Structure 1
Amino acid sequence: MDSKKEHTAKNNRIEKWLKDPIRADVIDIAWPVLVELLLSSLFGMVDMIMLGRIADSALAAASMAAVGITNQPLFIGLSLVQALNVGATAMIARYLGSNRRDRIENTLKHVTLLSLVMLAIPISLFGLIFSDAIMTFMGAQADTLQAGSAYFKIVMIGFIFQSLNMSISAALRGIGETKVPMKINIRVNFLNIFGNAVLIYGLFGFPKLGVTGAGLSTTLANAIASVFLLKYIVKGNDVIQLNLKTRFKFDKDIIYNLVKIGVPASIEQLVLRTGVLLFAKIVAGLGTVTYAAHQIALSILGLSFQPGQAFGIAASSLVGRALGTNELDLSEDYAKETRRIGSMISTFMALILFFLGPQLVSLYSSDPEIIKSASLALKIIALVQPFQSSQLILAGGLRGAGDTFWPLLSTFIGVLLIRVALAYVFVNTLGYGLAGAWVAVFVDQFVRWFFVYIRFRTGKWKYTKLR
């Protein structure tokens, strides 16, 4: 009888915890984003595992290294697009909260057009023309360049579709609609995995294309996602839609807001990706096998990023909406609750990375040297988790308020100054190898957390004005 009472009391506590209105709002927005991002990372990990299982071990290592080297410049482009989208999410959330719904569609049109014309198309063309030169600059050795040249060109075409998808998804997240992007991305990622298997290994009579096949499958999946997302917003709902018959007009207030929020966010992302690129170049100097181990660690790190990213997106949407209704205390409560839940999940993931590192790495490769190096990196990554998650979520809250300068400052100091400098010293001067590089990442994450946390505690971000 006592056991039954205890069970009932436990269920009541869980139900009460879930029904807290602030917590319910956070979970409602964050869980679809978390599922979407986690599955995207898992699918990315499966891509790497497929490449790592290519029969020729030298080709497998070169293929994984090619994906890693290609991802660094690609992520610079995606980060610039994402920075512009930060402004869209914050503005649309603020307009929704203040009941200025007439401005939501126009903001969607502005951010979509600007991201395509100013960023996606020019960057894609640049990547297509200078693909080999970029890979060589990144430190690609001859085997990596041979394996990955065609892959680089193909994913740069897919970059245009990725950019469009990110802009539409950012607008939908601004109104709190996170389930639609989740459902679409899950479908196309399953399609991508199937396409990878067929084109990498040459199944069902298709040619055996290796890493080039992975690029083709990824680009096709991104194009299909664009079709689904465009169909949804053209069809429209009661809050956001894209009316193609309405004539587009530039709005100086929307441009002002996008510049005010987006320029610091763009500089932050440019600084971040430049720092990560230089960091990758330092690690690439350790050789193809070590870089393959590093890339596996990065792939798994991408999975651990996702709770912070998901709850950071939820914080942006909810903080922006609360500030739109001028509920300043509520905006802070939303930010604190998103950090609390996101940190709980990240701590759980840290334990998995610390204790099950070798088992995770062995999914990618059976090479003992790769398993040893990547597993040690994962132990360091596990220690990074509390600072990483808190930093990502609180920075998301600041961006939702339109306060993007302090995340920029923290990234400039943490990544470009501390991570790159320490990695160079630890790897090239002291000879600590891959472990030294990842210790530099730990110090960087701690410094970024410190700056963002101090800014959040001041509360000044609640008074950022938008037009």
Structure 2
Amino acid sequence: MTKNQKKLTLFALTWPIFIEILLHMLMGNADTLMLSQYSDESVAAVGVSNQILTLVIVMFGFVATGTSILIAQNLGAKNDKTAAEISVVSLGANLVFGILLSILLFVLSKPLLLMMDLPEELLNEANSYLIIVGGLSFVQALIMTIGAIIRSYGFTRDVMYITIGMNILNVIGNYFFIFGPFGFPVLGVEGVAISTVASRLIGFAAALALLLKRTERALPFGMLFRFPKGHIKNLLKIGIPSAGEHLSYNGSQMVITIFIAALGTEALTTKVYAQNIMMFIFLFSVAISQGTQILIGHMVGAKDYDAAYKRCLKSLRLAILISFATAVIFALFSEELMGIFTSNSDIIKVGSVLILLTIILEPGRSFNLVVINSLRAAGDVKFPVYMGILSMWGVSVTLSYLLGIHFGLGLSGIWIAFIADEWLRGLLMLWRWKSKIWISKSFVSSKAV
């Protein structure tokens, strides 16, 4: 397998990840835009169903995260056999986990939607979408796991090609089922669900073929459902804290959204538009952080701690520089960018202030994305979670209420709370990285492999 393992550089790893994430963002918007031509109610129904499905994908992500780090560390340590075992075990684990969650979504789709206080007129469409996409969500679990494995071997371009193919197929399927050309049945939400599932099934087949090719068919598939205690323990050791951090962040954001809703519909709309624009600013940092995680995993596995230490700091400088420069450019054209979404002058004015504050916010977010992923790659998984939960709830949520609601600063106060949270966590993570405590946390060095 070493023969097929790719020589790793940050640029070679990062640009395909960047394209992949950008496509996810653009195609998500394309789905919404296409469905909006069919019915506004359908957009709302799919939006609510996707909130539930997003939570499920976070759950699948905890196995994929552990997989990526363990494989990278073992490849760095030249433990190719162990890396191959972890690849198969993680596939089996996420398949079983995925099937269980898929069955739950299929059986409990309507009660889950009713729990979200969904209006009666949206229930049937939302339920139809959740049953089809949720009932087959285990396919997405397998795609995520295979993607994590292939990326860890350095073949990030392969995953990008699969994403491009899936998105193209999804858009084509949406077009046929929403607009009904050539006598195709117009199925609306149900058609969009079928298109989503069909593109994922084809994507899974392509991903599996690439996995077999890149590993020279040397994976021990006889271990698919054996679940060795050591491998499962390490997967959970990384995955559960990572999932906890994501769930905590989503929970804190939901509470802050409730605060913003209290400010009125206009404030809520402004927040959505501003964050849609901001996603394109921190996209660079996300890609750099994921590429850095793979590199540091390999370096820590090889016990090249000095190279890993320097790599994190170089990546951090790069992410801060790019995010700052991008935020400045977006701030200069903030009114034009907000104008893409709305003609409401009040929303444009407040949104422009938020994008201006983003110049301070995004470099702080870069610290968290790059350094947390580096700590995780080195096996130091608990510290970022504990500090993250404390800061998300103690700083971000608390200050959002105090500044935004109590002192009446509105959305600007809430953005200041975001800035305080990101910078506090970021500086704590940098302190942790510079302390080099993470050197003793490697999963490869802690056990014989």
What TM-score, normalized to structure 1? Answer: 0.82
- Note closer, same or farther for the CA distance 1:163–1:24 as it changes in structure 2 (3 Å cut): closer
Moved more, 247-256 or 311-320: 247-256
What value does the CA root-mean-square deviation take over the aligned residues? 3.2
Q: Give the conservation status (yes or no) of the 8 Å contact 2:305–2:439.
A: yes
Question: Per-residue deviation at 1:394?
Answer: 0.9
Write the distance in 1 (CA, Å) between the matches of 2:347 and 2:158: 38
Write the distance in 2 (CA, Å) between the matches of 1:248 and 1:202: 43
Write the distance in 2 (CA, Å) between the matches of 1:395 and 1:200: 42
Q: For residue 402 of structure 1, give the secondary structure of its aligned residue in structure 2.
A: coil
1:395 aligns with 2:372: yes
In the other structure, the counterpart of 2:320 is: 343
- Note closer, same or farther for the CA distance 1:48–1:383 as it changes in structure 2 (3 Å cut): farther
1:169 aligns with 2:121: no
Identify which of 44, 55, 67 aligns with 1:88. Answer: 67
In the other structure, the counterpart of 2:3 is: none
Identify which of 22, 39, 43 aligns with 2:27. Answer: 43
Question: Per-residue deviation at 1:44?
Answer: 1.9
Identify which of 29, 36, 39 aligns with 2:13. Answer: 29
Write the distance in 1 (CA, Å) between the matches of 2:190 and 2:342: 20
Write the distance in 1 (CA, Å) between the matches of 2:417 and 2:115: 22
Write the distance in 2 (CA, Å) between the matches of 1:453 and 1:128: 43
- Note closer, same or farther for the CA distance 1:450–1:75 as it changes in structure 2 (3 Å cut): farther
Q: Give the conservation status (yes or no) of the 8 Å contact 1:296–1:374.
A: yes
In the other structure, the counterpart of 2:393 is: 416
Letter matched to residue 419 of structure 1:
S
1:54 aligns with 2:33: no
Identity of aligned residues (%): 28
- Note closer, same or farther for the CA distance 1:369–1:200 as it changes in structure 2 (3 Å cut): farther
For residues 45-95 of structure 1, the C-alpha deviation after alignment (integer angstroms, 9 at most, x for no partner) is 3334445x538xxx53x5555555444433332223222222211111111
**Aligned counterparts, 1:122-133, within 5 A:** 122-133=100-111
Q: Give the conservation status (yes or no) of the 8 Å contact 1:314–1:338.
A: no
1:318 aligns with 2:309: no
- Note closer, same or farther for the CA distance 1:299–1:247 as it changes in structure 2 (3 Å cut): closer
In the other structure, the counterpart of 1:101 is: 80
Write the distance in 2 (CA, Å) between the matches of 1:336 and 1:422: 30
Q: Give the conservation status (yes or no) of the 8 Å contact 1:235–1:241.
A: no
Q: Give the conservation status (yes or no) of the 8 Å contact 2:91–2:224.
A: no
Question: Per-residue deviation at 1:343?
Answer: 2.6
**Structure 1 stretches of 5 or more lacking a match?**
1-22
In the other structure, the counterpart of 2:177 is: 199
**Aligned counterparts, 1:232-243, within 5 A:** 232-238=210-216, 241-243=218-220
Write the distance in 2 (CA, Å) between the matches of 1:343 and 1:200: 42
Q: Give the conservation status (yes or no) of the 8 Å contact 1:168–1:229.
A: yes
Letter matched to residue 82 of structure 2:
R
Question: Per-residue deviation at 1:347?
Answer: 2.3
In the other structure, the counterpart of 2:202 is: 224
Identify which of 198, 219, 229 aligns with 1:252. Answer: 229
What TM-score, normalized to structure 2? Answer: 0.84
Q: For residue 322 of structure 1, give the secondary structure of its aligned residue in structure 2.
A: helix
Question: Per-residue deviation at 1:226?
Answer: 1.2
1:73 aligns with 2:56: no
Q: Give the conservation status (yes or no) of the 8 Å contact 2:88–2:220.
A: no
Write the distance in 2 (CA, Å) between the matches of 1:390 and 1:89: 21
Letter matched to residue 441 of structure 1:
F
Letter matched to residue 368 of structure 2:
Q
Letter matched to residue 94 of structure 2:
S
In the other structure, the counterpart of 1:156 is: 134
Letter matched to residue 85 of structure 2:
N
